[in-house]
Structure 1
Amino acid sequence: MPEEQLFKLEDQRTRTEIAAALRDAAEQIESGSVELKSETDSRDVTVPKNARFETELERLTDSETGEKRYELEYEIRWTE
């Protein structure tokens, strides 16, 4: 199944700013309507009443430097 990226935002934030963004996202998800916004793009999406929710924690190691980084992801998935 081909992917089509509809929106992406990635930036550096403090832990407090991240928590505030997640609280705002949670309120929007609960209402059923989420507004995604960056400096150059915006997108509105309706989240269905029932969806698949995934939590994932990964440790990745850079093959050249050996540096380890962690990724904590929360994902909501549904079909049309």
Structure 2
Amino acid sequence: MPEEVLFKSETDRSRAEIASLLRRVADNLADGESITLTAGADSVTLEPPARPTFEVKAEREGPDDGPGELSIEFELEWDETDGADGGSDTLEIE
């Protein structure tokens, strides 16, 4: 199935601003609330199930012979029809 981008935002932010946005997502997840993403006129509201799959990925992109770009990606994923839970690996973030 092809990927459909429902919402995208990419902006430079301070670490404190990013922490605040992630904290808001965390609070909504903990409270069982929907998550609404808004940037300008674009907006989407999603309702994660009780047990979505949580993917964390650290990447380095760039040439083999020089410095590249580092990233940390956090992804919540679920099936629109049933919200079944995913794997059971233990994740810790320090």
Q: Which residue of 1 aligns with 2:52?
A: 51
TM-score by length of 1: 0.88
Q: Which residue of 1 aligns with 2:70?
A: 70
Identity %, equivalent residues: 38
TM-score by length of 2: 0.76
| Cα distance in 2, alignment partners of residues 32 and 19 from structure 1 | 19
Structure 1 residue ranges without an equivalent (≥5): none
CA-atom RMSD, angstroms?
1.6
Count of equivalent residues = 79
Question: 1 or 2, which has the higher strand percentage?
Answer: 1
| Cα distance in 1, alignment partners of residues 44 and 75 from structure 2 | 17
Structure 1 runs (4+) greater than 4 angstroms displaced: none
Structure 2 residue ranges without an equivalent (≥5): 81-94
Q: Which residue of 2 aligns with 1:7?
A: 7
Q: Aligned partner of 1:23: which letter?
A: R
